[in-house]
Amino acid sequence: MPPTFLACPTAIIEAPFGVVWRLLTNISGWGNFYDVRVISVEPPGPAVKGQRMLGKAGPRWFHFFAVVVEYTRIDEANNKLELDLKLPFGITVHEDLDCVPLEANRCRVNYHCNFTFPAGWRGSILRLLLNRELTTGPEDSLSRLKRAAEQAFSDQKAKQGVAG
């Protein structure tokens, strides 16, 4: 059985559900806040099951690792998304996330990142080498989403002339 790892960060975001949901379901805009350079999105447009994003990721300023992200479930009625990610070296991630409205201008986002590594010694070595990144990566991703959503909401309020 291949090595696996589950990371489940959670964040309270000071922005309405709709703001966060728009960021999560506009995969072509992910390069604006996630650490990824979006190369292409097929089909273009709003999120649909089967939509794929091809991108590049890696250390800041050196996005050279190919990544593929595919929506496998989009359930706005139940505030849930599922994505499959293919990362370098045979690593895959099944991401199951939900965005729960708490108040009019506040929601909670829960990530459930299920990492799977190649079978055998290569997967075991990758799991050991990436140990810290398996928790800090999803936490960083969620904090980037939080900052982007809160900034978008702040900008939206400023345009409407509503004080904080």
Taking only the tens place, the pLDDT of each residue in 41-72 is 999 998 999 999 999 987 665 567 899 999 99
- The torsion angles phi and psi of 36, rounded to 5 degrees, stand at -150, 145
Least reliable range by pLDDT among 31-40, 56-65, 127-136:
56-65
Residue 11 pLDDT: 97
- Output the DSSP codes for 30-48: GGGTSS-EEEEEES-SS--
Res 160: pLDDT? 87
Where exactly are the structural domains of the chain? Answer: 4-26+73-159
102-136 b/e (C-beta count within 10 Å ≥ 16 → b): eeeeebbbbbbbebbbbeeeebeebbeebeeebbe
Least confidently predicted of 18-22, 29-33, 66-70: 29-33
Among 136, 97, 101, 146, CA closest to 5: 136
Average confidence (pLDDT) over 69-91: 95
3-state helix, strand, coil in the chain (%, to 5): 35, 35, 30
Quick one: pLDDT at residue 64?
74
pTM greater than 0.85 (yes/no): yes
- The answer to whether domain 4-26+73-159 has CATH 3.90.228.20 is no
pLDDT at 3: 78
Q: Which residues contact 131 (CB under 8 A, 6 or more apart)?
A: none
Q: Which residue has the higher pLDDT, 86 or 163?
A: 86
Min mean pLDDT across 16-25, 54-63, 114-123 is at 54-63
The SS3 call for residue 59 is: coil
Which residues fall within 8 angstroms of residue 27, CB to CB, at 6 or more apart?
A: 38, 41, 47, 51, 53, 69, 71
More confident residue, 160 or 93: 93
